[in-house]
């Protein structure tokens, strides 16, 4: 039985990594998917990979006009919404002493402001009994050098999920956080040379009790749990999927 049959879902950052894996899984479980991303070429490739029951809406999720346009498309094509997965995020490593206001604003614009208004602007068409998943990170649970702004932005999502859950409980809308540990996705790209990226991945793998990075498909399964009725008695929780990184 398909766990998301006849559901409509929005997944931000759905053209790669965890977002793409989640979109593919949701579609396989019977949902119609709307994915967002900044690069049209990546969205086109993602639509082809997902195969069917998907619409791509190009835009910058930190731009409120683009969020409005996203939901205009959803309303026009489907007239309703059941699931929001606020997945889009960025990371830029820097030491506290080197951080600039531009760096801070960039991280918080994409990682906090965008999910906040992605949820707010979904509410008029989001069905009562719907599900919202904010994709955070285990970075909000530990102190990692060079990740102060990123970690703080993900801690903000954890806080927002609790408040949103309390505010929306009257509509039976569940709001939960998914906190991945290190996952082998394109988010590592741009964080150094090929050799530096590989060294970073190996370092993370040694830090994880299970001895490896996570797979996007594993996080998609966790997102499916939170989005579906499988988690019908869960709201305001933080589902950690990190190979034991922050648990053991």
Q: Report residue 222 as tokens.
A: 């966790």
Longest dimension (CA), the chain: 53
Secondary-structure percent of the chain, ordered helix, strand, coil, rounded to 5: 50, 20, 35
Q: For residue 5, give the DSSP letter.
A: T
Does residue 82 contact residue 127 with C-beta atoms inside 8 Å?
yes
Q: Does the annotation mark 150 as catalytic?
A: yes
Q: E strands, 169-246, where?
A: 174-180, 238-241
Cβ atoms within 10 Å of 190's Cβ, excluding its own: 10
Among 32, 71, 150, 204, the one annotated catalytic: 150
Strands 126-135 and 32-37: unpaired
Q: Which residues are catalytic?
A: 150
């Amino acid at each position: 039985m398909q766990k998301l049959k006849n559901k409509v879902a929005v997944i931000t950052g759905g053209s790669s990594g965890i977002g793409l894996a989640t979109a593919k899984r949701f579609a396989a479980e019977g949902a119609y998917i709307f994915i967002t991303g900044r690069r049209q070429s990546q969205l086109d490739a993602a639509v082809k990979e997902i195969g069917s029951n998907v619409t791509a809406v190009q835009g910058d999720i930190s731009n409120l006009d683009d969020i409005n346009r996203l939901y205009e498309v959803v309303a026009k094509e489907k007239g309703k919404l059941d699931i929001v997965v606020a997945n889009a995020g960025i990371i830029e490593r820097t030491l506290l002493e080197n951080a600039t206001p531009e760096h801070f604003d960039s991280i918080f614009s994409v990682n906090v402001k965008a999910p906040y208004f992605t949820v707010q602007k979904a509410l008029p068409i989001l069905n009562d009994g719907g599900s919202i998943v904010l994709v955070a990170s285990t970075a909000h649970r530990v102190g990692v050098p060079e990740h102060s702004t990123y970690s703080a932005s993900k801690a903000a999502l954890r806080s927002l999920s609790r408040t949103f859950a309390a505010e929306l409980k009257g509509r039976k809308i569940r709001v939960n956080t998914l906190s991945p540990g290190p996952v082998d996705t394109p988010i590592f790209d741009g964080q150094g040379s090929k050799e530096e990226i590989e060294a970073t991945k190996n370092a993370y793998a040694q830090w994880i009790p299970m001895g490896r990075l996570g797979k996007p498909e594993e996080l998609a399964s966790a997102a499916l749990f939170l989005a579906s009725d499988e988690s019908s008695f869960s709201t305001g929780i933080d589902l950690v999927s990190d190979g034991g990184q922050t648990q053991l």
